[in-house]
Amino acid sequence: MMPAAPWTCSVFRGVDVSARKTMKDASKKQPSFSSVAIAGPGLLGGSLALAVRARMPHVHVRLWGRRPEPLEYALSIGAAHAVSTRVEEVVQGADLVVLATPVGVMLDIVTAMLPALKPGAVVTDVGSVKGCVHQSVGAVLTRAGVAFIGSHPMAGSEKQGMEHASAELFQGATCILTNDEHVHEDVLLLLQRFWERAGCHCIRMQAAVHDSTVARISHIPHALSALCVHSALDGGDVELLGLVSAGGFRDTTRVSMGEPSMWAEILTENSPAVLERLDAALAQLGDVRKFLAVGDKKSLAEWLKKAGKSRAQALGL
């Protein structure tokens, strides 16, 4: 057997015509989801519900949550056709179940819904870390004969909750799909098309590659953004510092306003990959300290220059 490629990357939106054809062929064989159950009426779950209602009018949307208030609100704004605090009620008859809760509670929810799942139902999640989701939820569902594919729509906001949900949240966002359980390609394409209709473009990769990728591009920026706030403000005159602050401080620290307990969860769930990058950051910060302490302007300028070049390369600037 050939060793698997470390990651496969395919953009399906207006780029890869052959992939589009495959999708059309697949749609002839298998209809698209006609009923979607979303577990978790937070920012992501709520926004997904709104996006489905707005962009897939034929799809029946059901929403589960622990507390009735966000569900009632979701009903009142037309985000769902049906809501319930009983997960087994919500998933009954659903073709697609989307777990939009914190990663730490997904296994309990899946265990509760499992007996009520329709045969052939597909389960996915929207967690920011994928390895641990596959190890827990993916393993349980696969053993029960249910197809599980991980999803990570890379969309969000500093604002939390159903009341900040928007049908446009996923517009233009990248959605990473992790199919570590090797669910059949036809099912994967169905899920891909679902995310594309919600506004995303999809990339596939293995869960481990996903976790190392988001540690780099999302989790480390978050940690360093908070570090920047602490380094700038701790022990200083916060009022004066705010008065003289400009766009640099504002931009560099923007994401530090994310919900702290949610981010502590994410960083901890992805700790092996984040620690590897934190160690790299510590080593480089030590180097910068040395350059400054000895007045090595040349090395400092080279380090800064390389940062600018890498960023320009990554962002296509």
Structure-block tokens of residue 311: 């960023």
Distance CA 255, CA 267 (A): 14
CA-atom Rg of the chain in angstroms = 22
Q: Please say which residue, 168 or 302, places its beta carbon nearer to its own copies.
A: 302
Strand partners, 178: 150
Q: Please say which residue, 90 or 274, places its beta carbon nearer to its own copies.
A: 274
| Close Cβ partners of 25 (under 8 Å, ≥ 6 residues apart) | none
Q: Please say which residue, 186 or 259, places its beta carbon nearer to its own copies.
A: 259
Distance CA 50, CA 48 (A): 5
Q: Please say which residue, 94 or 267, places its beta carbon nearer to its own copies.
A: 267
In the complex, minimum distance from the CB of residue 35 to its own copies, in angstroms, rounded to a whole number: 30
In the complex, minimum distance from the CB of residue 94 to its own copies, in angstroms, rounded to a whole number: 29
Q: Please say which residue, 64 or 291, places its beta carbon nearer to its own copies.
A: 291
Distance CA 16, CA 18 (A): 6
Strand partners, 122: 96, 147
Positive or negative torsion for Cα 141, 46, 85, 56 = negative
| Contact present, 116 and 148 (Cβ < 8 Å) | no
